[in-house]
Every structure is written in C-alpha cells, then in structure tokens.
C-alpha cells in the first residue's frame, strides 16, 4: 500500500507536464494579449500598418525627432546619436560610424529598428506613434542609410524580410548553464 501511494508523487517529479499548479491568475482577454508589443526577428507580433520614407521624412520633423537627432539624422543638439551613418553601404556595417548604438545600420533585423522607435521614441512622449507612423519612420531611417530604396512601402509582411547591412556578422550569446564558466577555457 505504502509504495503504491508514492507512485503519483514519482510521476509528478518525473514529468514537467505534471508540475504543481495553483489555479491562480486569470486568462488574458484577446484585447490584452493584443496589447503585447514584443515582436520576433521574423516579424511575429508586428501590428498591421504601412509607411514610406517620404511619409517618415515629414513625421521626422513633425514629431520633433529632428530637434535631438539633427536634420536627416546628422548633428543633433543633444547627446542623441546620429541616425545616418557617416559611411555608405560599401563599408562594413561595423565600420560605417552609425553613432551611439549604431541603430539603424548595426541592427541585425529591421524589426529591431521598428521596436526601438515604438518603445523608446520620441523621448518623453513614448507611445504616441501609431503603427503607420512607426513603419514610416523606420522606412525613413533605413532609406537615409541606403538600406532600402526611397520608394519602398514597409508593412507587417515585408519588414522582417529586409536584408540588413550587418548580415550574419554578429555574435550569438552562448548557451547558459548553471555553475558553468562564462566562456569555455577562460579562467576569470
């Protein structure tokens, strides 16, 4: 009898599918789930919308991006980074002189440029931009850096397809394991 009683406990320990749950919390509504703004590098989670560099150029002034980042992303008045790389597409993305973090020339995916603008801009007025406006500003920044043609219409279906200048030339973070050194063979 005693050993039989242990069986369900053993099953519980053996199977993560049977992990202890408490029935707490509630299911999010569809509207709440839709409010999540995390998007994948392949474009999953992008909101419907579209925009062009020409529309973005207008917004760049209208939304006061120009005040901090300067005309066409060069020579802003604050510590805000330049958004137009110093050097053109013929130069390695790491050497183009993107300014600050190097967005947008160093972003491995165009979705990152979109995400950055949507989360973080305009500074002090975050969250005011509509999806169309974010697509337009993304198109503008990519166009002034010669990453997409001036007339390309960006939307939720093609944004993640854009070939970014950095290509595959960036390092993936290694697999993390508990109680393991940071870097194999590195003693410090």
Partner 1 sequence: MMDPKPSSRRELLKGAALAVGTVAAGASVSKIAFAQTPASGPATAPPSYAANEAPMVAASDDVIAYGVRSHYVTSKRIPALGRPSPDDFGLEFHVATPLQDSVGTIQASSLHYAATTKGSFIPDIDPARHTLMIDGLVGRPRIFTMADLKRFPSVTQFHFIECAGNNHSAADRTVQESHGLTSNAEWTGVLLSTLLEECGLQHEATWFVAEGAEEVKGASTMPINKAMTDVIVAYGMNGEPLRPQQGFPVRLIVPGFEGIFNTKWLRHIKAVDQYQLNMNDFGHLQRSPVNAALGYQIGPKSVITYPSGGQKLPEPGWYEITGLAWSGGGAVRKVEVSTDDGRSWKDAKLKGTPHPMAHTRFGYMWNWDGGEHVILSRTTDAIGQVQPTREEVAKALGVPYTPKFRVPGTNNTIMPWRIARDGSVTNGLA
Applying CB under 8 A, which of residues 106, 135, 138, 164 lies at the interface with partner 1?
Answer: 106
Phi, psi of 95 (to 5 degrees): -110, 10
Closest C-alpha to 138, from 46, 39, 51, 37: 51
Stretch that binds partner 1, among 5-13, 31-39, 54-62, 67-75 (CB under 8 A): 31-39
Q: Is 133 in the site for partner 1 (CB under 8 A)?
A: no
Rounded distance between C-alpha atoms, residue 101 and residue 45, angstroms: 24
For 155, the 3-state DSSP assignment is strand
Sign of CA dihedral 55, 105, 155, 46: negative
Contact letters (x/-) for partner 1, 49-88, by CB under 8 A?
Answer: ----------------------------------------
Instruction: Sort strands 50-51 and 154-155 into parallel, antiparallel or unpaired.
Output: antiparallel
User: Applying CB under 8 A, which part among 58-66, 96-104, 137-145, 154-162 lies near partner 1?
Assistant: 96-104
Between CA 39 and CA 174 the distance in angstroms is 22
Query: What's the token pair of residue 127?
Result: 């969250």
Which residue lies nearer to partner 1 by CB, 92 or 150? 92
Q: Which of 109, 110, 139, 159 binds partner 1 (CB under 8 A)?
A: 109
Other residues' Cβ atoms within 10 Å of the Cβ of residue 137: 28
- Secondary structure element (H or E) that encloses residue 162, with its range: none
Q: Which of 37, 54, 58, 77 binds partner 1 (CB under 8 A)?
A: 37
Q: Which range touches partner 1 (CB under 8 A), out of 49-57, 82-90, 142-150, 178-186?
A: 178-186
40 part of the interface to partner 1, by CB under 8 A: yes
**Residues that bind partner 1 in the complex, under the rule CB under 8 A:** 16, 19-22, 24-28, 32-33, 36-42, 94, 101-103, 106-109, 111-112, 115-116, 119-120, 123-124, 126-127, 169-183, 186-188
């Amino acid at each position: 009898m005693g050993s039989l009683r242990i069986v369900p406990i053993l099953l519980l320990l053996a199977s993560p599918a049977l992990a202890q749950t408490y029935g707490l919390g509630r299911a999010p509504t569809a509207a709440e789930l839709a409010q999540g703004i995390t998007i994948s590098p392949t474009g999953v989670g992008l909101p419907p919308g579209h925009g062009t560099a020409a529309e973005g150029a207008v917004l760049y002034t209208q939304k006061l991006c120009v005040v901090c980042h300067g005309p066409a992303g060069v020579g802003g008045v604050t510590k805000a980074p330049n958004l137009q790389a110093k050097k053109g597409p013929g130069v390695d993305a790491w050497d183009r002189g993107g300014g600050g973090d190097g967005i947008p020339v160093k972003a491995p995916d165009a979705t990152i440029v979109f995400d950055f603008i949507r989360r973080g801009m305009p500074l002090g007025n975050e969250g005011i931009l509509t999806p169309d406006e974010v697509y337009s500003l993304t198109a503008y920044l990519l166009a002034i850096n010669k990453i997409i043609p001036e007339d390309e219409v960006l939307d939720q279906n093609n944004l993640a397809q854009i070939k970014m200048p950095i290509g595959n030339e960036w390092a993936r973070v290694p697999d993390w394991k508990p109680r393991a050194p940071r870097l194999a063979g590195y003693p410090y």
